[in-house]
Amino acid sequence: MALLNILEFPDPRLRTRAAAVKNIDDSLLALIDDMFETMYAAAGIGLAATQINVHLRLVVMDLSGEGTESLVLINPEVDILDDERERSDEGCLSVPGYYETVERANHIRLRALGRDGKPFELEAKDLLAVCIQHELDHLEGKLFVDYISPLKRTRIRSKLEKKHRLDHQA
Ligand code: NI
């Protein structure tokens, strides 16, 4: 297995819309394993393939952060089930160090293929619903900072650009 490099805002590659997965083959399964390893190493609870510069509709998640609730979403789709909305603080491995309040639907149904290629559905509320919507946004080239004020977004962007310049010099 291997740790993959995670793209960070404002990298333009994060704005790519991902294409459907056509084949669940050995290379995709190896990629899924690497994505889990990368997510756990970074102490994240979700990682979309977009974030590691692979533009396929593939997400790994684990709300437990320690391997007990691992979830693979291939070609996921979401339906919003009612009008209830919730505000919660979100972070992202592609926006390291920043947390902002985002409002999203609180009750959704997810349809996806699992690691075994079989379709499954689940209803989600609260943190799981937030995390699924956040990860699916990545597949559309969207980030949680798109929902916050332009002023805050610009400030985060400048700070991360400065960090990237320093990383580059180091
Ligand atoms: Ni994210």
**53 C-alpha vs ligand 1 centroid, how far in Å?**
13
pTM of the model: 0.96
Q: Is position 123 annotated as part of the catalytic site?
A: no
Cα(134) to ligand 1 centroid in Å equals 6
Distance CA 22, CA 140 (A): 17
The number of angstroms, rounded, from the C-alpha of 19 to the middle of its chain's C-alpha atoms is 15
Query: Ligand 1 centre from 28 Cα, in Å?
Result: 20
For every one of its 170 residues, what pLDDT tens digit does the chain have, with 9 covering 90 and above? 789 999 999 999 999 999 999 999 999 999 999 999 999 999 999 999 999 999 999 999 999 988 899 999 999 999 999 999 999 999 999 999 999 999 999 999 999 999 999 999 999 999 999 999 999 999 999 999 999 999 999 999 999 999 999 988 87
Are 61 and 73 spatial neighbours (Cβ–Cβ below 8 Å)?
Answer: yes
Active-site residue identified among 69, 84, 135, 161: 135
Q: At 41, which amino acid appears? A: A
For residue 165, which amino acid is it?
R
Sign of CA dihedral 127, 132, 135, 136: negative
